[in-house]
Amino acid sequence: MNDIEDLDERRRFLMEFWRKRDPVPSTAVNEFQEDFYQRLQYANDRYTSTFNEGWETDRGRTIIKYGPPSRFDPHLMDRDTSPYEIWEYNNIPGEGQAIFVFADRTNFGLFELIHSSVAGERKLANWMEELRR
């Protein structure tokens, strides 16, 4: 979209983008668009820090793309590891059950994705070793 310089062309592009994704076009509301903006707001409210807006973080991006996890397993005070979280999803379309592992290896609250079972996401076979201090 950065290649589109004309303001009217940008507007048309965005309108078409959201229209194509509207799951129930017969309603006045675009449910996909509303869900997207709710996820964006949640990501910004929950994960914004001094360093980044929430949507720019790995956890924020994951929330926006896949929604909230089915199960959340925090490990913030485990003895011999950096703080980390495991997010489990029951059904990601095209993937089924999936996990995401986020770690704060800097101890500044900057959780980064170190492993996921989802195709196209970061995979680290020995992610548990990566957490050891």
Return the pLDDT at 2. 65
Query: CB within 8 A of 132, min separation 6: which ones?
Result: 80, 81
Return the pLDDT at 3. 77
Average pLDDT per 10 consecutive residues for the chain, totaling 133 residues: 80 94 94 97 95 96 97 94 97 95 92 96 94 84
Return the pLDDT at 6. 86
- For the entire predicted model, the pTM comes to 0.89
Return the pLDDT at 101. 98
Q: Which residue has the tokens 């101890």?
A: 107
Return the pLDDT at 31. 96
